[in-house]
Amino acid sequence: MYFLLKPILFKFDPEKVHHLVTAGLRRFNHFPGGAAISRALWHMKDPRLEKKVFGLTFENPIGLAAGFDKNGEFIGEMANLGFGYIEVGTVTPLPQPGNPQPRMFRLPPDGGLINRMGFNNLGVDVVAERIATFRRNAKSYQKGIIIGGNIGKNKVTPNEDAVSDYIKCFDRLFDVVDYFVVNVSSPNTPGLRALQEKEPLMQLLDTLQKRNNKNGISRPILLKIAPDLTNEQLDDIVEIVQKTGIAGVIATNTTISREGLTIEGDVKNETGGLSGKPLTQRSTEVIRYLHEKSRGAFPIIGVGGIHSPEDALEKINAGASLIQLYTGFIYEGPELIKRINKRLLDH
C-alpha cells in the first residue's frame, strides 16, 4: 500500500506530507480495530529479537530516530508499526518554531533528505506531559515500550549558558523517559556543534551525570555525534565517554557534506543536514572506528542511511548494539522494520 501512495506523497512538500501521514496514522489507530490491524501487518514479537543494552530490555533492536516524533505525539502509533523503541525530540526547554519554511527537501535520486528544521518543538513541559499521559493510558501490550528523550538547547541560549538548558530538559523528562540523548551535533542550530569540542562536552556530560540520580534511580545518558568528526575528534569522544561514564554513543547525526550527490539542480545546495543513503557508508565507518578504538567498551546505536536489511546488518557487524531509522523509513515505509526483523531472525 505504501508504495502505491509514495509517488503521490512525494509530489508534495515533505513537511506537509509528514503531518498529513502522521495525522492519518493516528486516526487509523483510533478507529476500532485499527491498532490491531497495524500490529498484525507490521509488528513482530519474538524473544529472539530482544536486546538488553545499558540495562534496558528492548523488544527488538530497531528504533525510531529523533526528529520524527518531536513532541511525543505518536509513540503508540509508531510502536504499532513494529519499532522496538521510540526516541522523542529533540526537545528544548522553551517552545520554538524552528527555522523558516521550506526547511526539508527530498533527494530521490540519492535516497536522501536535507533538513534544517532547527529544533522546532512545543517545549519540554508539553512533551513531558504527553509522554506521561501515554504511560498512564498505554495498552497492556505497549507498557514496556522504551522511550528515549533527545535533548538540546534553545536557539537563543548562548553556548556559555547551554548547560542550563540541558539540565532543565533532563530534570523535567527524568521521570517519564527510559534514557537520554544529548544532542550537540545538529547542524541546524547556530554554534551547537561547537559543544562537541572536548572541554565544553566534558563539562556538559559531567554535569548531567552528577544529577543522574533520583531516589536511587539513574538513566542511561547517550551522546549523539556528527559524522563529520575527524579521527582525532572521535578519539576524544571515546575518552570523554569513558571518563564521564555515560552509557554510550549514537552514531551518527546528519552530515553537512554534499559529497557524491547525483541530483541535479539547486536542491543539493540547500543548507542543513543531509541524511539517508548518502550517509550510509560514513556512519558505518564512524561506528566501526568507535567500536574498535574503544574495544567495545560502550554500546553504540547506529543510525544513518539504513534503507535495507543489509544496511542494518552492516551497522550491527560494525559494532552497533541497536539501530535507528528515519530517512529509510520515509523512503521504504513500515515494511522495512519487518524486513529487518525477519533478517535478524535468519541471521
Please give the positions annotated as active site: 186
The alpha-helical segments, DSSP class H, found in the chain are 2-9, 14-30, 34-42, 75-80, 124-137, 162-173, 198-211, 231-244, 280-294, 309-318, 327-332, 335-346
Q: What is residue 166's three-state secondary structure?
A: helix
The owner of cell 543522574 is 212
C-alpha to C-alpha distances, 276 to 56, 113, 297, 308, 347, nearest whole angstrom: 28, 6, 28, 11, 24
The alpha-helical segments, DSSP class H, found in 11-95 are 14-30, 34-42, 75-80
CA dist 261 and 341 (Å) reads 30
What residues contact residue 111 under an 8 Å CB cut-off, 6+ apart? 276, 277, 278, 305, 307, 327, 331
What residues contact residue 212 under an 8 Å CB cut-off, 6+ apart? 218, 219, 221
Say if residues 117 and 103 touch (Cβ distance below 8 Å): yes
Q: CB atoms < 10 A from the CB of 292, how many?
A: 12
Say if residues 92 and 123 touch (Cβ distance below 8 Å): yes
CA dist 96 and 124 (Å) reads 11
C-alpha to C-alpha distances, 284 to 168, 312, 314, nearest whole angstrom: 33, 10, 7
